[in-house]
Chain A
Amino acid sequence: MPSFTPSDYSAILLSVRVAVVATLLSLPFGFIVAYLMTYRRFRGRVALDVIVNLPLTLPPVVVGYLLLLLLGRHGFVGKMILQPLGINLIFTWKAAVVATAVVGFPLMVRSIRIGMETIDVRLIQASRTLGAGWFDTIMTVIVPLSVRGLIAGSVLMFARGLGEFGATIIVAGNIPGVTQTIPLAIYEYVSSPGGDVMALSLCVVSVTISVLVLLFHEWLGRRMVRSD
């Protein structure tokens, strides 16, 4: 086993950190969007559905480039919101979080929705007639019964986040020790002569993390079945 350089270790840590932060940040939004899509009938529902799912069909590079245009110094969000607040996202690890969140978001929403759609609408009606308002019903009926979907969505997004490459390299760049995640580090090793062994080592790390995450998901799923 070759020894990892400090920047390799930071790439591994950064990968995990970006995926975790992106997942946690997306979770409430994912829940809200899934809730709206499942239970509410409103104008623009189809448009919301298309926008949320767009990153699933677009090449990640395109998503990254659009984010760059949007969040960059001359972009709408960058100029109107981020700059006045003194925030610079582009080419920082936070940009990698945004890219990962956007690319993984449709997967998360889909998983939560699948969970939510299995909730019998009569349970929601029962809670309303028992005196619970809609927010109370969300917190005491819909959230607990969506837990599986929330977990599945989180795991999927985390796993997708670990592998995020195209969008990240465009908005966050490939700066060792700063924005370089495992896939970016592998890319760099592969494209430099003699880096094959290191690339393979990082692949092993990547596979290990993925397997651990999937095992964790499986274990959680089994535990929930038993407690049913």
Chain B
Amino acid sequence: MELTVKVQKQFGTFFLDADFAIQGDQVGVFGPSGSGKSTLVSLIAGLRHPDRGFISLDGETLFDSDRGLHMPPEHRRIGMVFQRAHLFPHLSVRSNLLYGYKRCDPRYRKITLDTLVSVMQIGHLLDRGVRHLSGGEKQRVAIGRAVLSNPRLLLMDEPLSAVDDSLKFQIISYLKNTCEIFKIPYLFISHALLEMRIMTNRVLNVEEGRVTRQVTGEDLARERMKDAAGYMNLLRLTAPRRINNLYTYRWEDQELFISSGSPMDETIFEVSSTDIILFKRHPEAISARNLLKGTVVDIFETGTRMGVELKCGDGRLIAEIVKEAVDELELSKGVEIYAAIKAVAFRRLG
């Protein structure tokens, strides 16, 4: 996906002035509430007119004020998932799903109802009315409806903000997997850093109506460490096994012990940088269930503390320790150390 935007839009006292070009398939739009993210998205979708400017997607001009060109939203092939599901209440789940599909030019119909239903596992919902679905089911159907319209770009405007925390991360992996399987590029809008880090690999940072810079979720997370907010390591763990009161998971080429596991094949866990204890030498016996051998690849300041990035096998972790500890452990790039993490320090997302 290649998106070029150079638009201005006045909204009462709010002024949006966006100017950027971005390539990538999993792009985030990040910024606080009221920064203009949603406005930007509605301009790209064609639901609102910019005052002036230019928008093009994959080489096709969608809007150009100089040429008086404004492609209506129904011709843009840009799907949208909103904060709430916004399913058509007078239609069944099946008719909701097929609403966009029926209106899609047959030559673009690559995803069919059958494949979508099997990938998203919503076959049992098809003949229900939408009023009888749970919140999570509604949002799944809304995602399916947008995907089935076979868009060339999917815009997701804070699609998780109206969903319970427990469901949020289930839907996140759902969203990501679905878009990856069907190869649909997306623009993911959120003010939650964690969601950005999981969903995107490129982020447009929006502040006060301007796209200030392009970064990665990782960059933003490290910057936040300066505000003493700590850093969350996100670990994608697989192959759970239950052993007594604990679970073991595979993390890259390592094995981890975790107390709050689940039988799901793949789960994302977070562990805070401050919950990782570093040892210079192998401590023979400790209570923490996970002891990983790693190499220091980076040491950086985070305001009052120091961040230490470790390479443990194929995985990476960031620990946060005080400056004195760095000196005592004689840490520098390339040094081998041990990291201990308690089994209870991992928080399951989803």
Using a CB–CB distance below 8 Å, which chain A residues touch chain B? 120, 122-123, 125-134, 136, 140-141, 144-145, 228
Task: Specify which of A120, A130, A133 is in contact with B100 (CB 8 Å cutoff).
Answer: A130
Given contacts A129-B80, A132-B74, contact A228 B131 (CB under 8 A): yes
| Contact string against A for B residues 85-105, beta-carbon threshold 8 Å, 1 for contact and 0 otherwise | 010111000000001100110
Given contacts A122-B82, A136-B103, A228-B131, contact A128 B72 (CB under 8 A): yes
Q: Which residues of B contact A228 (CB under 8 A)?
A: 89, 129, 131
Interface presence of B339 (CB below 8 A): no
Complex Cα distance, B98 from A127, in Å, reads: 11
Whether B89 lies near A126 (C-beta < 8 A) is no
Q: How many cross-chain pairs have Cβ atoms below 8 Å apart between A and B?
A: 66
Complex Cα distance, B79 from A134, in Å, reads: 16
Whether B74 lies near A126 (C-beta < 8 A) is no
Besides A125-B82, A128-B74, A130-B74, 9 more A-B contacts (Cβ < 8 Å) are: A126-B80, A127-B99, A128-B72, A129-B47, A130-B146, A131-B103, A132-B99, A145-B90, A228-B129
Q: Which residues of B contact A120 (CB under 8 A)?
A: 86
- Measured CB to CB, the closest approach of chain A to B183, in angstroms, equals 19
Whether B100 lies near A131 (C-beta < 8 A) is yes
5 A-B contacts (beta carbon < 8 Å): A125-B45, A125-B47, A128-B46, A129-B76, A134-B72
Given contacts A122-B86, A144-B90, contact A131 B47 (CB under 8 A): no
Whether A129 lies near B89 (C-beta < 8 A) is no
Complex Cα distance, B86 from A136, in Å, reads: 18
Consensus secondary structure, chain A interface: helix
Complex Cα distance, B129 from A125, in Å, reads: 21
- Measured CB to CB, the closest approach of chain A to B72, in angstroms, equals 7
Q: In chain A, what residue has the closest Cβ to B76?
A: A129
Whether B99 lies near A130 (C-beta < 8 A) is yes
Given contacts A125-B80, A126-B80, A128-B47, contact A133 B72 (CB under 8 A): yes
| Contact string against A for B residues 148-188, beta-carbon threshold 8 Å, 1 for contact and 0 otherwise | 01000001000000000000000000000000000000000
B 115-152 contacts with A by CB, 8 A = 129, 131, 145-146, 149
- Measured CB to CB, the closest approach of chain B to A41, in angstroms, equals 12
Task: Specify which of A131, A133, A145 is in contact with B104 (CB 8 Å cutoff).
Answer: A131
Given contacts A122-B82, A228-B131, contact A131 B149 (CB under 8 A): yes
Complex Cα distance, B96 from A126, in Å, reads: 11
Q: In chain A, what residue has the closest Cβ to B108?
A: A131
